[in-house]
Amino acid sequence: MNTGFDDSREIGGRDPLDARLTPPPSEPTPSDTWLRRVLRRLRMSAAFGLAPVLAPALVFVPLGALFGPQGLNLLSTRVLQHLDPVISLSLATLGVFVGLALGRRPSWNPRLFVAASIESGVTILVVSSALVFLVRAWDMPLAMPLAALALILGVSASASSATHDATPGSPDALAARIADLDDVLPIVVGALAIAAVGRPGLTSILWPAIATLGVGLAAGVIGWLLIERAHSDAERGIFVVGALALVAGGSAYLSLSPLLAGLAAGMFWNWSPGRCDTIVREDLGKFQHPVVVLMLLSAGALLEYSVMALWLFAPFVVFRLAGKLTGGWLASKLTPTLASADLSSHLLAPGLLGIAFALNAYQYLHSAEGIAALTAVVVGTLASEGVAFAVAPGEADA
């Protein structure tokens, strides 16, 4: 049965490009050796050319750190400044993918969306609350509001990327669908958290978020009008890239969140008449990998290992685990369709979006706290991949 979401995974999952490269990995083969099984659990198989499912952060973040200013300095501070627009572009790309992944009728399932939002919301709540408590107890000096820092870390912790499974309705497939849907709430909360820094009053916080949605929707409408009337594949590709650049550039120029703007554009393309969503998904698949690799390399190069980052890292990993398990458990209890999915274990892998959230925050918070938060999130994401490997769902349960 076609669930409608098997080709709508965000980065980290199987996409049309992956599908063209290799067959799905979940079918056991005679050569399914112990090494292949370990690599698959590490979600690193594709990095060795064994399977399309990969955790690219495990490969490219360390490479970025190696090439960065604190390593070989190939990615010097000056180069990183020039890569800043690429980061905005990759954030907008991820936002568009999240918007497209919401699915369109009849595959749109409000219950699954609510469950996913509960799962991510609980994770944000657990991580943020724990960090507020700990940072106060530590008497850690901060030059930014504690709530904003805690929310940024909580939002980054809420991202998840379950391994895709070709079997419709299987726990893996359900978890993958939840992992698609649970990114919407963090993107919105993250945009609000960034807007809250240095802005007093609810109105001054909400206004940037509304403006971001406006930018995304405007770029979406422009892209839709152009894409639907393109006469050739090349022309269509140009319009897709142009619309994406408009989303990223417009939001970055206005100091807004490219993730939220991309989400708005993706949702518009998803629900607009015509084939715009399919076209965009196919065309973005052609250049998503280079853009995302550049984003991960930049994230690795931007890392600065400070005492503050070290202190934020440990609770980030521990309470992300607690939040994911609690959120997954609650979501599965509140939604009958997920009752037996062993959802929590499937959602422990963090994927890329957490790093994207932290980069998005860092773009607007070039302070010691912003760098410390980015470092804690990136290193915590790598550590969480290890946790996901250790707490992977058992074969018998899957």
Partner 1 sequence: MPESSPLPPSSPRGSRRETRLLLLTLVVSVAVLLLLARFRFPDRQPLPALSSLSSTPDPLARMAGTGMFADMRATLTDLLQRLQLSVVVLRLTPDAPLPQIGLAADTLTGQPRLVPALRFREDLAVTLSSGRARAEVLEAGEVFDASLHAHDPSRALSVYRVPGRAMPALTVQSQANLLTTPDYFAFVEAGVGGPTLRAAFASRLDPVPDSTWNASLLAVGGLPPLPAGTLMFTLSGRLAGLVSAQQDVATIVPGETLLQAAEQLPPRAAGSSAADAGIDVQALSPALAKAASADRGVIVRHVDPAGPAARRVEVGDVITAVDADPVDAVARWLQALARRTPSTTVTLQVRRGGKVIAVPLTLAGADRALPAPSTSTSAHTGTTPPWATQPGLTLRAVNGSLDVVRVAPGSPAASAGIQPGDVITALPGRGALSNTRVAAAYQGLSSGQAMLVALERAGQPLLVSVEKP
Enumerate binding residues for partner 1 (CB under 8 A): 1, 3-5, 106-107, 109, 111-112, 130, 133-134, 136-143, 168-171, 173-174, 177, 307-308, 311, 314-315, 318-319, 321-322, 325-326, 328-329, 332, 337, 339-345, 391, 393-394, 396-397
Question: What does the DSSP assignment read for 118-174?
Answer: HHHHHHHHHHHHHHHHHHHHHT---SS-HHHHHHHHHHHHH---PPP-SSTTSHHHH
Choice between 183 and 283, CB closer to partner 1: 183
Q: Which residues contact 377 (CB under 8 A, 6 or more apart)?
A: 153, 156, 157, 316, 354, 355, 357, 358
Choice between 147 and 218, CB closer to partner 1: 147
> Across-strand partners of 299?
none
Choice between 49 and 106, CB closer to partner 1: 106
Rounded to the nearest whole angstrom, what is the least distance from the CB of residue 306 to partner 1 in the complex? 10
Q: Which residues contact 346 (CB under 8 A, 6 or more apart)?
A: 162, 163, 171, 172, 174, 175, 176, 178, 179, 328, 393
Closest CA to 56 of 64, 44, 39: 44
**CA atoms of 220 and 228, how far apart (whole Å):** 12
130 close to 138: Cβ distance less than 8 angstroms: no
Choice between 92 and 325, CB closer to partner 1: 325
Choice between 59 and 146, CB closer to partner 1: 146
Give the CA-trace dihedral at 126, 132, 137, 138, to 10 degrees: 110
Rounded to the nearest whole angstrom, what is the least distance from the CB of residue 166 to partner 1 in the complex? 14
**Helices and strands, counts by H and E, the chain:** 16, 0
Choice between 58 and 140, CB closer to partner 1: 140
**For residue 13, which phi and psi values (nearest 5 degrees)?**
-110, -165
Rounded to the nearest whole angstrom, what is the least distance from the CB of residue 327 to partner 1 in the complex? 10
Residue in this structure with the two tokens 């509140």, named with its chain if needed: 334
Distance from chain centroid for Cα 302 = 18
Rounded to the nearest whole angstrom, what is the least distance from the CB of residue 231 to partner 1 in the complex? 36
Rounded to the nearest whole angstrom, what is the least distance from the CB of residue 144 to partner 1 in the complex? 9
Tokens matching residue 111: 């219950």
Rounded to the nearest whole angstrom, what is the least distance from the CB of residue 375 to partner 1 in the complex? 16
Helix (H, G, I), strand (E, B) or coil at 117: helix
Rounded to the nearest whole angstrom, what is the least distance from the CB of residue 247 to partner 1 in the complex? 27
Choice between 75 and 193, CB closer to partner 1: 193
Choice between 152 and 174, CB closer to partner 1: 174
203 close to 61: Cβ distance less than 8 angstroms: no
Rounded to the nearest whole angstrom, what is the least distance from the CB of residue 221 to partner 1 in the complex? 29
Rounded to the nearest whole angstrom, what is the least distance from the CB of residue 365 to partner 1 in the complex? 15
Choice between 281 and 320, CB closer to partner 1: 320
> How far separated are the first and last CA of the chain, in Å rounded?
19
Rounded to the nearest whole angstrom, what is the least distance from the CB of residue 122 to partner 1 in the complex? 12
194 close to 363: Cβ distance less than 8 angstroms: no
Choice between 328 and 351, CB closer to partner 1: 328
372 CB-side CA count, 13 A: 20
